[in-house]
Amino acid sequence: MASYTLFSSDSHIIEPPDLWAKRIDPKFRDRAPHLVHEEEADQWYADGLKFGNIGTNQQAGLRFVAPEQLTAGGKMATVPLGGLDPQAHVADMDIDGIAGGVLYPSQGLTLFRVRDDALLSAIFRAYNDYLAEFCQPYPNRLKGIAMINVDDVQGAVHELQRAARLGLVGAMISIRPLVHRYDHPVYEPLWAAAQDLDMPLSLHVGTRRWHPERDGPDPNLDAVETTNREYDVRMAIAAMIFSGVFERYPKLRVGAVEWEVAWAPYFMARLDNVYTERAVGVQLKRFKDGRLPSDFFRRHIFISFQEDDIGMQLRSYIGVDNLLWGSDYPHAESTFPRSREIVERILQGVPPEEKTKIAGGNVARLYHFN
C-alpha cells in the first residue's frame, strides 16, 4: 500500500451555462460567453466567436471502460456532477484517493482567443468570482487558480491582487501573449506582484492568445499543432529566463501545466548551450554567481504532469522538487478513477522520499495545503 498523500496539481471545474449571464459586468452581457445547444454538441460562443464545445472536457473514466465511445462532441446534460458541484467534486476525489486538488477552468482555457481586451478581462473577473465560491466550502481540499489577462498589465496586477483577496492561490496567464513576449519590460509589475503575493503563475496548455486570421488553424484541433504544443511554453520560459526575470524576482514561481515532462531535460541543456556557446547567447548579460539558465529552471519552474513514465526516469535532471502530478479530472484523458494505481505504476522504483514529493508533497508545499 502506498504511504504517500496524493494531491492533484491540475484538476478542473466545468463552467455552468449561466456563469457569465449571472456574473459578468452588465455592459458586456450581450457579448458574454453563452452555451448554444447545437445538433452535434453543446457549443460555447463569445462575441460571435466559437471557442469550445463540451466534448473532451468531460468523459472522465471512459477511456478505461469504453475508449471507443470517446468523442470530441458532448452535451451539458452528460457532464459529471463533480465538474459543477464542489461537494460532488470532493466525493469523486475521495473515490480516487486524492486529498486535495488545484482547480483550473475547462472552457476557460480556450477563452484566451477572445479578441477584445476589455471583454476578456471582464470574462475573467466573472470566472474568478465563481471559482472562489466553488472552492469556499472546502478550503483545505480545493484551491483555485485565477485567470488573468496580461494584455493590460496594470489591469492584470489589479486582478491578481483581487484574486488573492478572494482566496485563490495562483493565476493562469497566456502561454503566448498577444503583443509582447515575456522578456519585455512591460511585465515587470506583474512579476513583482506575483512574487509579493506568493501567487505562482501557470502556463497551462491551450491558453494561446490565438487569432484565426494570423495563426491559421485552431491549434487545439490541429494534429501538427497538438503534437508540438510545448513549443509555446518553451518560448515563454526561455523569454523569462534569458531576460533575467528570476534574478530580479528570486521568489517568483512559474509552472508549465499539463505538458508532461520528458521534453524538459533537453530544453534545459539547450538553454545552457545557447547561453554558453552560441553567439546570440554569450552576448547576453551574465547571470550572477556563474549561474546557468538551467539553474533558474530548477529553482523557479515547476512542471505539472500526468502519465509521463519517461519523464520520471529523467527526474533528477529536472529536479524532484519541481515535479507535480495532476489527474486532469474530469477531462477525458483524466486518470480518474484509477489515479492511485497509475501514480504507483509510473513512480515504481522511485525512492520513497522522492515519491512522496512528486505524488503530492510538492503541490501541498507550493499551494499551502494543510
* Predicted structure pTM score: 0.95
Residues 6+ apart with CB under 8 A from 281: 242, 273, 274, 275
Residue 33 backbone dihedrals phi, psi, to 5 degrees: -60, 135
Distance between CA atoms of residues 246 and 296, nearest Å: 7
Helices (H), the chain: 19-23, 62-65, 86-96, 117-135, 153-166, 188-197, 212-215, 223-227, 230-242, 245-248, 263-277, 279-282, 293-300, 309-313, 315-318, 339-346, 352-356, 362-367
- Extract the C-alpha cell encoding 316: 533528477
pLDDT per residue, tens digit, the chain (370 aa), is 468 999 999 999 999 999 999 999 999 999 999 999 998 889 999 999 988 888 777 888 778 887 787 777 788 888 899 999 999 999 999 999 999 999 999 999 999 999 999 999 999 999 999 999 999 999 999 999 999 999 999 999 999 999 999 999 999 999 999 989 999 999 999 999 999 999 999 999 999 987 666 666 565 567 887 788 889 999 999 999 999 999 999 999 999 999 999 999 999 999 999 999 999 999 999 999 999 999 999 999 999 999 999 999 999 999 999 999 999 999 989 999 999 999 999 999 999 999 999 999 999 999 999 8
Residue 221 CB coordination number (10 Å):
9
All domains of the chain in start order, with CATH: 7-13+81-367 (3.20.20.140)
| DSSP string covering 281-295 | HHTSPPPGGG--HHH
